Amino acid sequence: ETGVTQTPRHLVMGMTNKKSLKCEQHLGHNAMYWYKQSAKKPLELMFVYNFKEQTENNSVPSRFSPECPNSSHLFLHLHTLQPEDSALYLCASSHLALPSYEQYFGPGTRLTVT
């Protein structure tokens, strides 16, 4: 369907679990992003990777740990999460050049922390 895929699509985890979210883009983009989408709130940017280097960390708690091994793959490692971390986690990618900075989103991972 699109060039950005995410797995798993749904995840239920306990507060003591460790899990990882995976994102993959096949668009040849050079920037990748993690967003958190909670009900009634703006999309919250968590991490930005530009040419595999992390350029932004918006004061995200250390229980979220990103990894970008190459420009096509992005992971979000989760450890000892809290119930308030339950949300839709969206990955996006873009090509940081004109004429468009359009971000292409993946389908998201619906995370529930019990």
Partner 1 sequence: GENVEQHPSTLSVQEGDSAVIKCTYSDSASNYFPWYKQELGKRPQLIIDIRSNVGEKKDQRIAVTLNKTAKHFSLHITETQPEDSAVYFCAAFPNDYKLSFGAGTTVTVRA
Binding partner 1 (rule: CB under 8 A), the pick from 11, 23, 31, 78 is 31
Binding partner 1 (rule: CB under 8 A), the pick from 11, 21, 23, 48 is 48
- Nearest to 55, CA basis, from 68, 72, 42: 68
CB of residue 48 to partner 1, shortest distance in Å:
6
Position 40, amino acid: K
Strands (E) across the chain are located at 4-7, 10-13, 18-25, 31-37, 44-50, 53-57, 64-70, 73-79, 87-94, 104-105, 109-113
CB of residue 46 to partner 1, shortest distance in Å:
11
Binding partner 1 (rule: CB under 8 A), the pick from 16, 42, 83, 84 is 42
Binding partner 1 (rule: CB under 8 A), the pick from 61, 96, 112, 114 is 96
Position 103, amino acid: Q
Binding partner 1 (rule: CB under 8 A), the pick from 7, 54, 55, 114 is 55
What does the alpha-carbon distance between residue 66 and residue 30 come to, in Å, rounded to a whole number?
Answer: 16
Check binding of 60 to partner 1 (CB under 8 A).
Answer: no
Q: What are phi and psi of 83, to 5 degrees?
A: -55, -30
Contacts with partner 1, residue ranges (CB under 8 A): 2, 31, 40-43, 45, 48, 50, 55-56, 90, 96, 100-103, 105-108
